[in-house]
Every structure is written in structure tokens, then in C-alpha cells.
Structure 1
Amino acid sequence: MAQTNLSRKPQKKKLLKRLELEKWQRHAGDTGSPECQIAALTVRIDALRPLVNSTARMDFSCKRGYVKLLARRRKMLAYLKRKDFEIYRKVALETGLR
């Protein structure tokens, strides 16, 4: 039973990522637009947040990777804000950022 439980977590993460990408895609198969990248990073960040916030399992490499993801998403948001403010505002409101 433990193996099925372990195998469901990656599937759940993939499903969440796919659903978020489908929501923000400009065309079929689009994964490179800034709003898709922000959505994918948000899914990864949300998955790591409980691990980083727990004091028992926090280590330097995990926290460093988490901070790098946050910085990458922040840079993407700043880029999107410069290039297309309307899409930025839509992404920020719907994902709960800012």
C-alpha cells in the first residue's frame, strides 16, 4: 500500500501542473510564455513550501533551491509587468500573488 501512496504524489503534482499550464496557454503545447512559466513555478513552490517551513526537515540545499525558485518567479513577474501589464494583473490576481 505504501508504494501506491508514494506513486500518487508525483502524479498529483503532474496533474496540477498540467491543469495550470492549460489554463494559461496561449496556444496548444505552449509552455514557454511567461504566464505558463509563472504557473509552473507556482505549482513547484507550493509543493516545496511545507517541506521548507517544517523545522525538522529543513536543510540548506532545500532552502536554497526554494529561494531560487522564488527569485525566478519574481523576475518573471517583473518581466511580465514591464511587457504586458494587463496579463500581469490577471496572473497576479488569479494565482494569488501580490
Structure 2
Amino acid sequence: MLALRISIMTKTETYPLSNLRYSRTILMVFSTLSLFFVKDLSQNTKETGTGKWRQLADGWIYLWKDSDLRIISMMKFVSNIGEAVWTGCILFGICERNFA
């Protein structure tokens, strides 16, 4: 309906939404297939003590040592807490209104 209104107002031909879906699907398939041609140049040497927990600990240690990443992580952590609180408040209001 909105596309019809826009086409009447601007007097231009509108394209159906399905063309956008097809082009987006084609680009997604192309990008997925192109990943098969990416070569991994890293050395596959297995070190001792490189389990999942050790990798996780190394990541947290690196995050704590780098001041820029630490600031960004703290900002994101605080913003996520705020987003969770607002989402909970909005959902509580919707549920209270609809199910009460």
C-alpha cells in the first residue's frame, strides 16, 4: 500500500519486493560459496594447555591488559544491563496489560 502511494506521488514505476529478495539471496549464496576459496595460512601446531578454558582465560587476561578494549567492554557491559532492564520493563507492561 505504501509503495502504491509513493508511486502515485512520485509518478515513477515501483519494483516489487520479490526482486529485492532474489538479489539478496543471490548475493548471500555468492558470498557463502566464495568462502570456500579462502585459505587458512595459520600454522596448525597444537600447544600444550590450549584447551577451551585456557583460551577463554587468555582472552580475559588480554582484555584486562589492553586499556582500550577494557573500556569498550565495560561500556558494552553497562549498556547491556540497561537494555535488559528496559526490555524487561516494556515486556512487563505489555504482559500486564494483555494478560491481566
Q: Normalised by the size of structure 2, how large is the TM-score? A: 0.32
Relative contact order, CA 8 A, sep 6+: which one is greater? 1
Q: Normalised by the size of structure 1, how large is the TM-score? A: 0.33
- Largest Rg, 1 or 2: 2
